[in-house]
Amino acid sequence: MSPTKLTNAPEGVEYYRVCDQEGVCHVVRGMQEVRRLLEKTPGLNVTKIP
């Protein structure tokens, strides 16, 4: 299986890179998912992917 290439998101769909303090990062879709992760694990670093 080949890696998935991230492209520009369609209008209304946003992708965010969420990283913990150890440098482990995940890409999530939507601010609602980001909020859920931040409630579960405070102190995460969030960056919006253009």
Distance between start and end Cα atoms, the chain = 25
Instruction: Phi first, then psi: give them for residue 49, nearest 5 degrees.
Output: -90, 125
Q: What are the Cα distances from residue 15, in Å, to 1, 34?
A: 22, 9
Question: Residue 49: pLDDT band by 50, 70, 90 thresholds?
Answer: confident
Classify residue 44 by its DSSP letter. Answer: -
| pTM score of the predicted model | 0.69
Average pLDDT, integer, range 27-44: 90
Nearest residue to 47 via CA among 21, 26, 18: 18
**Model confidence at 1: pLDDT above 50:** no
Which one is predicted more confidently, 12 or 18?
A: 18
User: How far is 9 from 29, CA to CA, in rounded Å?
Assistant: 10
Question: Residue 9: pLDDT band by 50, 70, 90 thresholds?
Answer: low
